[in-house]
Every structure is written in C-alpha cells, then in structure tokens.
Structure 1
C-alpha cells in the first residue's frame, strides 16, 4: 500500500458485474484490487436480481439495491430511485467511509454523492460516460444527437462539480470533459491491466483455438459487446476483403443486441464460416481468448480507454484500431500496430494483410504492445487512487459556496 492506514472506501456505481461493459469491469477490478491491498471496500450498485441483498465477494462487500430492467438494454439494470437516497444515507452513516468513490453521474452515484456531501466525506468521481454509447440503444434520429448530447454533458458536468477530485482513464478523456465545460483539473488514471494474468503464450495458440472450436488459421479477435457503437460490421467487411488472399477468421467474444444482424451480415458477405461467435466468455477464461488470436481489432469511435485493447496488448497482440477518441493513446503507429480512419474498410483490410502477412512483424508488434502496456500496470493505478484518497484525508479541499448549494 502507498498508505499506512487501512481505508474504509465506499464505491458507488450504476454498473457492476454481471453487467458486461468497461465501466463495470473497471469498478470490479478496482474494488477487488483495493481489498487485496488491505482496505475495507464496500460497493453500492444495482441488484442483478431485482431485489436488494448484501453479499461478500473476494473481500468486497456488495450492497445491491433494488433495480429494474432498462427497456433499451437487456443486459443491464438500473437502480430504482424510490428509497435509494435513504438507503445510501443509512449505508454512509453506518460505514462512515473515509472516502466515497463514484463511477459516474447516474442514479446510484448521485445518491452517494449527496449523502457523502451531507456527511462531509471526500468524494472522488471517475467519468466513464460518453453520450455516443447510448445512441445505439435509444434509437434517436441522428438530427437529435447533438442536442441530447449537449444536455447529457451539461448534466454530467454539474454532478462532477460536486466531487472533490475528478479522474478519467486517459488524457483524451480528461480533455473531453474540460471541453464540455468542466472548470477544474481532471486527472487521467489508467483503468489498469493485470500484466500477469494477461500474458503472451504463443506456444499454446493452436490448443487454445481448439478449446474455443476455432480452426487453426490466422485469427483476428474482438472482445466486447456486440452492439452498434463497437462497429464490428466494419471489421467483418474488412475480413471479407482479405479472405481471398489470407486464410483468416474473426473470433467475437461477447454478446449484444446486434448479434443476429452480424450473423446475417456474415452470411451476406460469404464469410459465415469465418466469423465465430463465442458468446459470453467467463472472466476466468478471457485471457485464453486473446492468447488464441494473432491480432486484435477495434473499430469503435467512442472509447474513453478500452480495457479490451489493454488486455490484448498485455497478451502480446498487435492492435488495429480506429483513429478516434482515446484509442490513439494505445497504438504506436507501425510499432505495436496501426490506426485507420474510422469507417475506412479498404485501409483496414490493407493493414490486416500487412500484419497477418508476416509472422516476424506480428511477433515484433506483439512485443511492442507488451512494452507499451507496462505503463498501465494495474498496481500503478491502484497506488495512484490510494494516493488520491490519502491526499483528500490529509488536506480536505475547501468547497465553494456553489458546490455546497449543489450538494444540498
């Protein structure tokens, strides 16, 4: 630990496993990582069952609050507002945490911030939010995206102003928050990656492909939700262009609303036998998916960091990524991979051929990925969060009149 004291930490989040998304995974790994470092960690989050309950997992006490289904997102639930503030109030009073760390600005996070402010407990807020990730579910006409996005950002900035310390996963995400009107310093702290858990093992590649039912051929991997903002159809179209030249396939690990559309597209493109839907892969098996692949692709344009890309890099894979949002932070052009203009299928196909065409190039790029990802070691991220918590306890920030009014 970077601190000598055992901290009482309450993490409030509107998404937590079994939810499948980057924010949920980050929060889960943060909570368990802090608990392993000796801290007393509690998580306030929606119940995946609907009814509230309390349980302990890996040293983390989970306080699951009553929830309902999100109509536009089958895989997630939201905390029901009725009674939530009282629940958060009682929990904060009972636990008396040293710090409250919220993971956004939605229902659970708002309730926790309000109770923490009233109790004069320091608040850290980490932003994982981008309106772009919601458009595929809400199905608003594109003409309304700018207006609704502006309103969503304004709301997010208002809530973030109530926190004592605000973080984001990357410098680009920090700049984005400032561009949207946040008026104070934002610190970028990587989501982090377990370099020991995700590691190269090329000698096992053939056996791991067999484990997942994959033919032993050049394998492109994508891990994540099969939803519209991930733009997996771009990768499939690029694959269709290179198949006449390369014996390649795409392995998709994840589930989502677009799965049937993607299956139909694979058939339409004539590559149904080369696109493998692995479905939901349990967390313990996830490292083996990356190890079964030759490279990793991500065509999304709405990533504030991309934990999946970090995992692929840690496994020693070359990365092909869209030149958008925070993904350029993870790709050293020509070093550990390549960037392509979003939606440029031709360029994506060219780069896939370049990476897959040379085993030596693949190996050197994979080694570069492993070197570059070292700066994202999750131990460093945990240490930095500990230091942030400690600084707020040693020198509590002076809150402005505006902040006090908002908290009330």
Structure 2
C-alpha cells in the first residue's frame, strides 16, 4: 500500500505529535508499505531524502514566533501537488490541521484520494494558560478553536482520535464525519520491566541512594510542571525527580526550582535518547504527569509498559490510562498538596508500587503497537477500496455519457 503522512510537526521537533507521525511512518515502512512524509524543513530550502526507509519531503518554513520549535511552511501548493501526482498514494493521513494539513485537504478531492485526519489537539495546546483562564477571553477563544478543528475534520473522509475522551470532545462540538478511536501504539517488545541500571543512573548524574521519580514531557506551560515542582517541595520522602525533554518553559522552571530551594531534588536532563530512557524508566519507582493538555500521553504509556505506577492529573484522557487506586492515583488538576501526598503514599509502600506496576502492565497490553498497526491497515484498506470503486463508477458513468 502507498501511504502519505502529512504533518506540521515531525522530528527533530520534540513532542507527542512528532513521535506518533514518525513512529507510524517507520512502522509502516517496516511492514513493507511505501511511505511518504510531508513535513516542514528547518530552513528556507526544500529537502527531499530517505530517512529510515521513509521518503521524507520537507518544505521551507519559518519558526512560529510565539511557539518555539513549531515550524510554519511557506504554502508549497505546487510541490505538494506534484508529489501527490508522482507518488499516487492510496491514502493520505493528516496529523495536524494547520498549513500542510490544509494543503493536503484542498488537493486530495481533486485527485480522488481518501483523507484521514487524526486529532491530537486541544485549545490548551494552542493558547497560553493565562489566555485560557481569562474570564473574558478564555471561553470564546476555546470555542473558536474547537469550531475550527471540527470544521476541518468534518471536511475529511474519516477522523480518528487516540482516546474516547478526545473523540467525544469533538462530537460534543459538532463532529459528524465518520470516526473511531485508534490508540497510539506502544512497542511492548522494547518497553518492558527490567532491573535497575546503575551505569545509566550515574552517567545521567542522578543519585543512586534515593527513590527516583521521572517525568517525560515537553517543558511547556500547559504541561503544568510548575505543579510538579511545588509537589516536590512538599514531598516528605527523600526522593529525586528527573525531568527529561526540553521546551520553552525550561528557564522559568529552573528559576522555580531555585526559588523553592530544591536544586538537590530535581535534575533537568534535557533530551534523553531511547537507549538511556528505557533503562531510566526501569530504574525509577514512579512516573508523574501533572499535564492539563494531553489527549493521550505516550510517555505515560511507555512508563506503564516498563511496569511503573503513575500519579496523574485527573484531566482529559489521562484517567483512561491511570485507574485511580489500581495502577496509580489521580489528583485534582493544579493541586500540588494532593499530588505530593499520593507520591509519598506510593514511594513509601514497596508492595503498593509492585501491585500498581503489575496493573499498569495489564492495562497497557491493549495498546500493543502491532494490534494498533493492524487497525490502521484495516482502515486504510477499507477507504482505499471504497475510493477506488467510486472512481471506477465515475469513469464508467463518464464513458456511458459520451458513448454514441
């Protein structure tokens, strides 16, 4: 099958959407499909090259002024139309309803190609927290963003979301296009429980003599890492927090650590490669996520697959993975006192850690990557077959209309 993935966010950008789009592209290639990716370049030149077996076309772009690392392509209608004609994909899968997604949507009908869109977005991902909580602007702007998202998705041939929560939010705001839930997949062959890796702990500069808490997420305002740092200041257990990844809020978070005087309890690790991140998870006792802007957390799913319990904000789709008092605890969003209390409770009870970690493994089993890829292939095949049949009928009707 010939598959085109269109996304405004793709590695080296860090984040959930780039990871999902990249993972699907590579996995489908490894399954024997031909895959093209349309994404922004990191400069003023178009670049076409093969990356991990995927044919990636990157188009010139500039950095979005209010969102570091997000690239805005320079409307490459002609080159993308040419690429679509040459590659002749069976399906086009859009992962961001911004510039490139809109171009694909405009071009797909004229080429009689089915367009699938996956929603990864909330208003929280597009507006600052100060704007969202503004009593005058917050609700109207949030409603405006949902109006745009639903308008875009209703013009697609099929819509998916990784969680029921995410899909229900779209339906509540007027989505009527055919749709279903398809989870993000986790490679349960790679992400597995294991023994503590002291060598990785030392190399990352982390202490070995105290419990380890990890948080893996982009360091941006909507992820509410400030709440986690406040919780660390209230924590009774002498534990250490490892923050991995980077992002625009890093400077403010470092300043908060100094203000709280918890420099000896928090490490900013920056980007950590998978070769180290997997053993880091296995060496930790707890995964935490205070985010109020996740429709599904890949990082939490990977931690669960390594057998970790979680403490998570009771926000959006996080409760679909963290079942309160089973594989972790849910706290009121923004409540650092409650978060700290649940963290202490798990860290101080090894038997609870073990039982919750086992339940994490049971829950995450349904999200195995191979099963998820099967679901995508089934949907792709269904839509490609339907469009091919519709095209044959159109050609037959046209031939009949001009016959003498």
TM-score under structure 1 length normalisation: 0.91
1:195 alignment partner, one of 171, 188, 196: 188
2:331 alignment partner, one of 340, 348, 364: 340
| Structure 1 position 209 matched with structure 2 position 201 | yes
Aligned partners of 1:70 and 1:395: how far apart in 2?
38
- CA shift, 1:303, in A, is 0.7
Paired residues for 1:183-262 under 5 Å: 183-201=176-194, 203-216=195-208, 217-242=210-235, 245-262=236-253
Question: Which residue of 2 is the match for residue 46 of structure 1?
Answer: 40
Aligned partners of 1:233 and 1:128: how far apart in 2?
23
Judging changes above 3 Å, is the alpha-carbon distance between structure 1 residues 189 and 141 closer, same or farther for their aligned structure 2 residues? closer
Question: Which residue of 2 is the match for residue 302 of structure 1?
Answer: 293
Aligned partners of 1:196 and 1:150: how far apart in 2?
41
- CA shift, 1:145, in A, is 2.4
RMSD: 1.8
Aligned partners of 1:24 and 1:145: how far apart in 2?
27
2:22 alignment partner, one of 28, 33, 58: 28
8 Å contact from structure 1 (residues 238, 349) kept in 2: yes
Question: Which residue of 1 is the match for residue 355 of structure 2?
Answer: 364
Aligned partners of 2:377 and 2:60: how far apart in 1?
30
8 Å contact from structure 1 (residues 10, 42) kept in 2: yes
Q: 1:264-312: CA deviations, max 9, x gaps?
A: 1112212111110001123443323322321111011111111111111
Question: Which residue of 1 is the match for residue 319 of structure 2?
Answer: 328
8 Å contact from structure 2 (residues 257, 263) kept in 1: yes
Question: Which residue of 2 is the match for residue 93 of structure 1?
Answer: 85
For the pair shown, the structure with the greater C-alpha radius of gyration is 2
8 Å contact from structure 1 (residues 8, 99) kept in 2: yes
- CA shift, 1:114, in A, is 1.4
Aligned partners of 2:120 and 2:190: how far apart in 1?
24
- CA shift, 1:140, in A, is 7.5
Q: 1:168-220: CA deviations, max 9, x gaps?
A: 0000000011111112342110111111221111x224333212110011111
Question: Which residue of 2 is the match for residue 80 of structure 1?
Answer: 74
Question: Which residue of 1 is the match for residue 340 of structure 2?
Answer: 349
Q: 1:308-340: CA deviations, max 9, x gaps?
A: 111110111101100010000001221111111
- CA shift, 1:141, in A, is 7.5
- Which sits farther off after the overlay, 67-76 or 388-397? 388-397
Please identify runs of 4+ aligned residues in structure 1 that moved more than 3 A: 137-141, 396-399
2:125 alignment partner, one of 122, 127, 133: 133
Identify unmatched segments of 5+ residues in structure 1.
1-6, 400-408
- CA shift, 1:104, in A, is 2.5
Judging changes above 3 Å, is the alpha-carbon distance between structure 1 residues 50 and 370 closer, same or farther for their aligned structure 2 residues? farther
8 Å contact from structure 1 (residues 135, 145) kept in 2: no
8 Å contact from structure 2 (residues 131, 137) kept in 1: no
Question: Which residue of 2 is the match for residue 18 of structure 1?
Answer: 12
Question: Which residue of 1 is the match for residue 57 of structure 2?
Answer: 63
1:287 alignment partner, one of 258, 278, 286: 278
Q: 1:10-69: CA deviations, max 9, x gaps?
A: 111110001111111000001111111100000000012342111111211100011111
Identify unmatched segments of 5+ residues in structure 2.
392-404
Question: Which residue of 1 is the match for residue 379 of structure 2?
Answer: 388
